[in-house]
Structure 1
Amino acid sequence: MEAHGTFATASCTLCGKMHNSNKVKQAIIEGDIPMCEATNCKGKVKPDIVFFGENLPPSFWDYHQHIHFTDLLLIIGTSLEVYPFAGIADAVGTQTPRVLINLNAVGSLGRRTTDVILTGDLEESVHSLVRELGWEEKLKALEKVYESKQINEE
């Protein structure tokens, strides 16, 4: 679950049309406001992330239906200070392993015997975990799928 959305996709704030996230990112870097390319739409395009003050996506609230089936919880890059998201870490069963990948330890992580905390640079920590688990080829395959999706959107 990406509670605060993702930079991997971007859409129009008015009509919802999906746009190439790389183009949107580049426009933002250049100081431009990305505008919707749909006919007769004057909406602005933004990454599909939740900004401060915006509501969480409706799909976020589905976690209650799935939390009891969780066999591993990965928590990456968060302060765990803002609710309701912060409460998810404690909502999983006490025997469910919780892995925190973050600059530093946060929340209640580290109190359970099944907790694992990897501190440091997020990207380096994720790549280290991927290597340790032998998932390097799977990650490369996912990266290729993502890259081809971006090319097809252009």
Structure 2
Amino acid sequence: MTNPTSSIDTNINPDIQSIANRIKNGEATRIVVLTGAGISTGAGIPDFRSPITGLYDRLAPLGLPYPEAIFHINYFSHTPEPFYAIARARHPRNLKPTISHAFLALLAKKGLLHFLFTQNIDGLEQDAGVPSDKVLWAHGNWKSQHCYKCSAHYPDHLMKKAIMSGDVPYCLQSGCDGAVKPDVVFFGQSLPAEFEEKEKEVPDADLMFVLGTSLKVAPCSRLPGLVKGGTPRVLINMEKAGDIGNRGGDVCILGTCDEGVRKLADALGWRDELEGLWADAVAAKGHDEELESGPSLDECIEKLAAQMKDRMKVSDGHKRMLENHLGNKFANILAKGPASK
């Protein structure tokens, strides 16, 4: 294991150390955090926008009208099949928290985490030990599900069956044919009402961490801009995002989230405690062997692409048959003359 002292002396960027000093000196006791998909890539969930490896690029074989359509409520309302085709591979039931999630739990354990806004739906923050009253799942999560039309609750065991099979579950209420949707916020839907209340507290932060997000999706993208001038904002991400880096107190730690939080933990002298907390969280997370043995995301996409191609062939076949039928009928009409119409 890395020796925290030697890391601080030789390998830590002074900007990172200045953030660590601020925390150790008690100058940062109200830390607000915003997280995105990049915090969970270490758990096996691809982010959305990375070229080639990101989810949106990998969805290309489906020929969607645009990549985000799979998570747009208007598209889901009439074509829910793509969402459920990849649901098994995206379901977080068997995913383990990353060391980045453990870092958030450690902040909470030390009484430093004021509040966490997460754009993720995997719930791994809670699995790592972040108290639920310290988290706002801005985009919802997988823990429950309802009919998107009438809002009737749908049983957990039937939802699991649908996820296992990749079939779309439909409402059980008489007279309703709505597709069931997990309680995640799709594009085109409103965020929880709590969001507007909690964002009012962002200006009170004395330090903000932004982890694993491109800051391209509103309204979460506006949160870093609410931090008061002079309050440090720390971005841990593969590339720069938003306007972080434009203020004097900003620090950008470029690379994976897991690499970034380990650097911070070394600077803080928390590395052993962090690793121990992470190990405990991973050990405590249960697993579901049925879901765990399921197909990969790419296999799910390939299967759906083949199904869509087959349906298109059937449609083309019907089209040719209809054209031939109409052509023959029109020829017969011409042969018999106008009076036979």
Output the TM-score relative to the length of structure 2.
0.34
- Superposed CA RMSD: 3.6
Select the residue among 129, 140, 145 that pairs with 1:12. 145
Residue correspondence of structure 1 range 3-42 to structure 2 within 5 A? 3-8=118-123, 9-10=141-142, 11-13=144-146, 14-15=151-152, 27=163, 31-33=166-168
User: Would you say the 8 A contact 1:19–1:45 is kept in 2?
Assistant: no
Give the aligned partner of residue 73 of structure 1.
208
- Once residues 143 and 33 of structure 1 are traced to their aligned partners in structure 2, the CA distance between those partners, rounded to angstroms, is 31
Contact conserved, 1:4 with 1:49, CA < 8 A, in 2? no
Structure 1: segments with no counterpart, 5+ residues: none
Q: What is the rounded CA distance, in whole Å, between the counterparts of 1:82 and 1:140 in structure 2?
A: 32
- Does the CA contact (< 8 Å) of 2:210 and 2:236 recur in 1? yes
Looking at secondary structure, tell me which structure has more helix per residue: 2
- Which has the larger Rg? 2
- CA deviation profile, 1:36-66 (whole Å, cap 9, x unmatched): 9xx97997352x5432222112221123431
Count of residue correspondences: 142
Alignment partners' CA distance in 2, 1:16 and 1:69: 38
Instruction: Write 1 or 2 for the structure with the bigger share of strand.
Output: 1
Residue number in structure 2 paired with 1:137: 276
The structure, 1 or 2, with the larger RCO (C-alpha pairs under 8 Å, 6+ apart) is 2
SS in 2 for 1:99: strand
Q: List alignment gaps of at least 5 residues for structure 2.
A: 1-115, 124-140, 289-341
For the 8 Å contact 1:76–1:102, the answer to whether it is kept is yes
- Give the residue type in structure 2 aligned to 1:27: I
* CA offsets 1:68-123 (integer angstroms, 9 cap, x no match): 32122111222223333222111111222211111200111112232111212234
Could you list the per-position Cα deviations for residues 7-40 of structure 1 after superposition, in whole angstroms to 9, with x for gaps in the alignment?
Answer: 12421123467959xx69x937x6344689xx97
Paired residue secondary structure (1:101): strand
Q: Which moved more, 1:103-112 or 1:133-142?
A: 133-142
